[in-house]
């Protein structure tokens, strides 16, 4: 949902490890000044989508909004990079609240791992053999024999990323839904995924962990050789993204659906 714009007295500039992003950080810091992140009102993140996901996790639950500017490879979550007029852009930027997914994965040794994802939780086969998975929603078994390369649970923010590449649906940011999308499904052949409420508890069990090993990842946190994974929205955690009003999230979602 859209929230009240923050006051902007102090800006922190953070950048990915690329020279392009670091050069932009130095230039913007010289022009506008740069405060330490702990006292900043706004965090300006310079890089690509991967870096802004890291920044969202880093400042989760701090109340500090993140304004991304594209200095990386992929920039769907980023605003256009411009040096001039930054203060004016921040003053009118639209602020959107997003919540991450909470993944709990149990590996074949029985160890539980926990990670959060703003884009998606994904499972995929680790060998040449397809994975065999069982899917349950809120304790009700929905598919007992999904044979595929993997499966994705995507947030609205992540629905235009890996999920879209796997032919999953694009979800408006404010829709209370998650996309459950198979990767190269073999059986059942007609199943192309589902939309589930964002309050649902999704459980994925790996049916043959020795012969058909599977890895799981929450954004960039990977767990190998899992035997079960649960995914649900973490309603106790929250981050904030800022977008220029002429290219806000709703416009990006609409534009993406009319690409050809």
Could you tell me which residues are annotated as the binding site for NAD(+)? 49-50, 119-120, 149, 157, 160-165
Of 8, 21, 27, whose CA–CA distance to 78 is shortest? 21
Length of the chain: 260
Beta bridge partners of residue 94, listed in sequence order: 243
- Asked whether the beta carbons of 53 and 218 are under 8 A apart, the reply is no
38 catalytically annotated: no
The one catalytic residue in 38, 41, 49, 208 is 49
Residue 148 has which token pair? 């595929």
**Which residues does the annotation place in the binding site?**
49-50, 119-120, 149, 157, 160-165
Name the H helices within the chain: 19-32, 49-58, 86-92, 162-165, 249-257
Give per-residue burial for 200-222: e unless 16+ CB within 10 Å, then b. Answer: bebbbbbbebeebbbbbbbbebe
State the catalytic residues: 49
């Amino acid at each position: 949902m859209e929230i009240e714009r923050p006051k902007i007295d102090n800006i922190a500039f953070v950048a990915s490890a690329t020279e392009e992003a670091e050069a932009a950080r130095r230039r913007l810091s010289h022009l506008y000044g740069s405060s330490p992140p702990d006292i900043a009102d706004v965090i300006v993140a310079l890089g690509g989508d991967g870096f802004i996901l890291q920044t969202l996790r880093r400042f989760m639950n701090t109340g500090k909004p993140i304004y991304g500017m594209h200095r990386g490879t992929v920039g769907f979550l980023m605003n256009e990079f411009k040096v001039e007029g930054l203060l004016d852009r921040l003053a009118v930027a639209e602020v959107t609240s997003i919540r991450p997914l909470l993944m709990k994965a149990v590996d074949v040794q029985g160890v539980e791992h926990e990670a959060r994802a703003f884009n998606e939780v994904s499972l995929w086969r680790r060998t040449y053999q397809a994975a065999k998975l069982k899917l349950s929603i809120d304790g009700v078994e929905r598919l007992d024999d999904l044979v595929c390369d993997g499966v994705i649970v995507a947030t609205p923010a992540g629905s235009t990323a890996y999920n879209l590449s796997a032919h999953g649906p694009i979800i408006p940011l404010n829709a209370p839904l998650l996309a459950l999308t198979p990767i190269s499904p073999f059986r059942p052949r007609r199943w192309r995924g589902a939309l589930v409420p964002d309050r649902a508890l999704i459980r994925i069990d790996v049916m043959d962990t020795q012969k058909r090993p599977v890895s799981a990842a929450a954004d960039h946190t990977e767990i190998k050789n899992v035997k079960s994974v649960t995914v649900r929205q973490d309603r106790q955690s929250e981050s904030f993204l800022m977008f220029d009003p002429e290219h806000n999230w709703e416009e990006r979602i609409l534009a993406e659906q009319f690409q050809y």
